[in-house]
Chain A
Amino acid sequence: MSDADLAPGAAALGEMAAGRSKDAANGHRRMGRITREAAVGYLFVLPVMAVFAIFVFYPLLRTFWLGLFRVAPYPTIPSKFVGLSQYRNVLTSPDFLASLGRTGEFVLLTVPIGIVLGLALAVLADARIRGIRFFRTLYSSTVATSVAVVSVIFFTLLNPTVGLFSYWLGIKGGNGILQSNTWALPAVATVTVWQNIGFTFILMSAALQAIPEDLLEAARIDGAGGRSRFWRVTLPLLSPTVFFAAVVGIIASFEAFGQIDLLTQGGPDNHTNVLIYNLYTSFQNNDFGKASVLAAALFVILLAVTLVQFRFVERRVFYG
């Protein structure tokens, strides 16, 4: 055999060897690229994950854990592990059930009325007439206020001696609306509805404007009057937004704290002592065990509200 005979084979072998090493190099580079890619991914999600781990998930679990410990009446004595008995005691106490009931009342006083008013304003302002922009801006304006701003304004206007609203309601000194067992909760609810009206209005207006004009036109051609167009076309198309507003509204009502703190501080005689305020006062009294049980209860209730609503309401709303 001559060198020439061997040459092609050797060349082929050489090529194969080179090819293999190129493959290997590619493999390394690909591996490198994949791990590098993953590293970039983890690096980018790290800040968010760190904050969530430390300030959302860890404390959520710890809330349930703290509910197992009864805090001693004196700060020097360590709290005692009492297991689930504290959950049982707190969750069956008349104090908890009363605050839960008042929270339910508060939800009923704020959510349906808020949605109906927001929708009514949106329908009213849904017309191409002169000056409508002014009205729309005005109706939206309460989103620029905070709960604290609105509460302080109403608190002052409801002051029994100098408040303008008290004067109009015929109250002269003594107890005002916010000091009345009957009217304190409805008053706080009214303030809440007023503060939220801008948000609900914006939501409902956006949804109204998203309704295709030709659908309403088709209904008009079919001889549907204004009222039946609203009930048969507009409202079904708005149902996802109404559903969304209801869920958001219920959750917000359960979390309504600022208005209670600034208007009534849970009074008079606990008549506005809703769940979240009960939690706050327990916390302020250093009863971390009870406060944790209440926080856990609040979490479970809101989770249930969201899940139940998604399950049952979503089926009946119309997604166009």
Chain B
Amino acid sequence: MGRRWGRAGRYALLTVTAVVVGFPIYITVVNSLLTPQQIAHRPPALFPLHPLWGAFVQAFTTAHLGLYLRNSAVVTVAITVAELVTSVLAAYAFTFVAFPFRRVLFFVCLATLMVPMEATLIPNRQTIGALGWYNTFPALIVPFMASGVGVFLLRQAFLQLPRELHDAATLDGYGHLRFLLRVVVPLNRPIIAAFGIYAFLTAWNQYLWPLIATDSNNVRTVQIGLRQLESLNIDQINVIFAGTLLAAMPIFALLLVFQKQLVRGLTAGAVKG
């Protein structure tokens, strides 16, 4: 008896918590398909009986969502590719190449994990200004072309490769670059993918730096676009909801495809094994 009640109770709790966790997104979807009048109606509509898609069109026309999404795509893809390349190279050097001060330089990489981005904000804004990069893509990309997390995670993974593999490759006349590209990268594809997803997510969601490093819509990312969206008038409340959904959509799609890699990337530092 206890077990049956236990199972029923678990389903009941699962359902209640699912409603609580899922409701804000659900109501966002519903409201993006209603008119402002319907949204303001009381008692509120919790289901779109006659869905309308006009709010999504307006999000592109009046709220420039297309431009913001494009900017975010440019910045995020550039950061992700750059972080992958620089982290793989550095992690490889820290694992397979012998050079003086290797340990010291690795600890320097680790030390960056202790420096929050906020602590470097003001001088970095000045650097960007001095380089003439204010309001440009380089301002949003270049400061993030290296990642301490990436170097650390990938080095941990590379260390798991058997030493004999490197010796055998050297005997076969493989140089470092060939060994890296033909052996190390293919064998570590899962962790590289996991870090790539993590890097993409982090870059896409950046808020404070893009806010400070730009003030022109031509380069502003979608997160900052949301700030503009929020200030829309209440009679465009459906556009606010639609635009928010559009801003979230790319990441939702990405996670549906790469759920496993994301879980791996997020938990890599926390769970042993």
Q: Flag if B226 contacts A257 (CB, 8 Å).
A: no
Q: Judge whether A159 is part of the interface by a CB distance below 8 angstroms.
A: yes
Docked pose: A157 CA to B86 CA in angstroms: 42
Docked pose: A152 CA to B252 CA in angstroms: 17
Which single member of B11, B146, B227, B248 contacts A145 (CB below 8 Å)?
A: B248
Which single member of B21, B230, B254, B259 contacts A156 (CB below 8 Å)?
A: B230
Query: Chain B interface: which of A92-100, A104-112, A123-131?
Result: A123-131
Q: Judge whether A230 is part of the interface by a CB distance below 8 angstroms.
A: no
Q: Flag if B22 contacts A141 (CB, 8 Å).
A: yes
Docked pose: A137 CA to B252 CA in angstroms: 11
Q: Judge whether A303 is part of the interface by a CB distance below 8 angstroms.
A: yes
Q: Judge whether A162 is part of the interface by a CB distance below 8 angstroms.
A: yes
Inside 8 A of B116's CB, which chain A residues have their CB? Answer: 251, 254-255, 298-299, 302
Q: Judge whether A148 is part of the interface by a CB distance below 8 angstroms.
A: yes
Who on chain B is nearest to A259 by CB? B207
**Contact flags (1/0) for B97-140 with A, using CB distance below 8 Å?**
11110100100110010111111111111110000000000000
**Contact flags (1/0) for A240-256 with B, using CB distance below 8 Å?**
11001100000100110
Who on chain B is nearest to A208 by CB? B271
Inside 8 A of A149's CB, which chain B residues have their CB? Answer: 223, 226, 244, 247-248
Q: Judge whether B78 is part of the interface by a CB distance below 8 angstroms.
A: no
- Interchain pairs with CB closer than 8 A, number: 262
Query: Chain A interface: which of B23-31, B54-62, B186-194?
Result: B23-31
Q: Flag if B105 contacts A49 (CB, 8 Å).
A: yes
**Contact flags (1/0) for B67-111 with A, using CB distance below 8 Å?**
000000000000000000111011011100111101001001100
Inside 8 A of B89's CB, which chain A residues have their CB? Answer: 44-45, 47-48
Q: Judge whether A258 is part of the interface by a CB distance below 8 angstroms.
A: yes
Q: Which of A206-226 contact B (CB under 8 A)?
A: 206-207, 210
Inside 8 A of A154's CB, which chain B residues have their CB? Answer: 24
Q: Flag if A124 contacts B108 (CB, 8 Å).
A: no
A44-B93, A146-B251, A257-B208 are known contacts. Are A155 and B230 too (CB-CB below 8 A)? yes
Who on chain A is nearest to B229 by CB? A152
Q: Judge whether A188 is part of the interface by a CB distance below 8 angstroms.
A: no
Which single member of A45, A63, A279 contacts B90 (CB below 8 Å)?
A: A45
Who on chain A is nearest to B43 by CB? A167
Instruction: Tally chain B residues at the interface, Cβ within 8 Å.
Output: 90
Q: Flag if B266 contacts A202 (CB, 8 Å).
A: yes
Q: Judge whether A55 is part of the interface by a CB distance below 8 angstroms.
A: yes
Q: Which of A24-69 contact B (CB under 8 A)?
A: 34, 37-38, 40-42, 44-45, 47-52, 54-60, 62-63, 66
Distance of A100 from chain B, by nearest CB (Å): 14
Q: Flag if B120 contacts A56 (CB, 8 Å).
A: yes
Docked pose: A54 CA to B112 CA in angstroms: 12
Q: Flag if B240 contacts A156 (CB, 8 Å).
A: yes
Docked pose: A164 CA to B43 CA in angstroms: 10
A148-B227, A149-B248, A162-B237 are known contacts. Are A124 and B13 too (CB-CB below 8 A)? yes
Q: Judge whether B158 is part of the interface by a CB distance below 8 angstroms.
A: no
Q: Judge whether A185 is part of the interface by a CB distance below 8 angstroms.
A: no
Inside 8 A of A244's CB, which chain B residues have their CB? Answer: 269-270
Q: Flag if B263 contacts A197 (CB, 8 Å).
A: no
Distance of A293 from chain B, by nearest CB (Å): 10
Q: Flag if A291 contacts B122 (CB, 8 Å).
A: yes
Inside 8 A of A194's CB, which chain B residues have their CB? Answer: 21, 24
Q: Judge whether B52 is part of the interface by a CB distance below 8 angstroms.
A: no
Q: Judge whether B272 is part of the interface by a CB distance below 8 angstroms.
A: yes
A48-B86, A51-B146, A162-B234 are known contacts. Are A38 and B226 too (CB-CB below 8 A)? no
Who on chain A is nearest to B120 by CB? A59
Docked pose: A135 CA to B240 CA in angstroms: 28
Q: Judge whether B50 is part of the interface by a CB distance below 8 angstroms.
A: no
Q: Flag if B118 contacts A240 (CB, 8 Å).
A: no
Q: Judge whether B1 is part of the interface by a CB distance below 8 angstroms.
A: no
Inside 8 A of B163's CB, which chain A residues have their CB? Answer: none
Distance of A29 from chain B, by nearest CB (Å): 15
Q: Flag if A167 contacts B119 (CB, 8 Å).
A: no
**Contact flags (1/0) for B131-169 with A, using CB distance below 8 Å?**
000000000001101101001000000000000000000
Docked pose: A109 CA to B127 CA in angstroms: 36
Q: Judge whether B40 is part of the interface by a CB distance below 8 angstroms.
A: yes
Q: Flag if B212 contacts A153 (CB, 8 Å).
A: no
A41-B102, A56-B115 are known contacts. Are A63 and B255 too (CB-CB below 8 A)? no
Additional pairs, 10, CB under 8 Å, beyond known A51-B146, A257-B208, A262-B230: A41-B97, A41-B98, A42-B99, A45-B94, A50-B146, A51-B142, A51-B143, A59-B120, A141-B252, A295-B121
